[in-house]
Amino acid sequence: MAEHYYTSSPTSAHSVMTHDVHVLGLNLRFETDAGVFSKNELDPGTRLLLETLEPMRGRVLDLGCGWGAIGVTLALRYPEAQLVMSDVNERAVGLARRNLALNGARGEVVVSDGFAGLEGTFDHVVTNPPIRAGKQVIYGLFDGARERLRSGGSLNVVIRKQQGAPSALKHLQERFGQADVVGRGGGYWIIRAVKSEM
């Protein structure tokens, strides 16, 4: 079976690289490696997602954190937030921990298949979901986020239009009640879904 960036224990040969990234006024440095998503650069969808996010407060989850671009940026931009980063990919989790330290940021990093290894509830969930894992997996993550979000909390997602953004928007509107496209660029949609106040 072919190995993907959402493989739990990648066996591909290591190829560690270091990248300097400028985003949201921050100058960051990241280590990446083979077997993780977008190892050569900060992908444009993630950049657009970061640029579109509202200020993050409370407990924030970077779901499917990869090498940590979203989580590290949020930890430095919103240091009062309680950051949790998670990924099914053990190599990605190791990179995320190193990149937090490399940038002097604080956060908890957990190996977790979706929400299975995570505890508690969140005020915000942010994700660039693993589209290649398929719609069933992606929508499972969306539904899991709804279960773990506090009332009034938000799920923030980036998806390419051609990779199913319109149908994802419809699913999120059905599940959350409120979901809107809050950003567009380069074929990507940024969708924010808000869990209804109880």
Residue ranges covered by each domain of the chain: 17-195
Outline where DSSP puts E strands in the chain.
17-23, 26-32, 59-63, 82-87, 108-111, 122-127, 149-160, 177-185, 188-195
Give the pair of three-digit tokens for residue 123. Answer: 């005020």
Structure confidence at residue 40 (pLDDT): 65
In CATH terms, 17-195 corresponds, of 3.60.15.10, 3.40.50.2300, 3.30.70.2190, 3.40.50.150, to 3.40.50.150
In this predicted structure, what is the pLDDT of residue 2?
41
* 92-107 residue pLDDT tens: 999 999 999 999 999 9
Q: In what order do the strands lie in the sheet with 108-111?
A: 108-111, 82-87, 59-63, 122-127, 149-160, 188-195, 177-185
Residue 69 has which token pair? 């671009």
Rounded Cα distance between 98 and 102, Å, is: 6
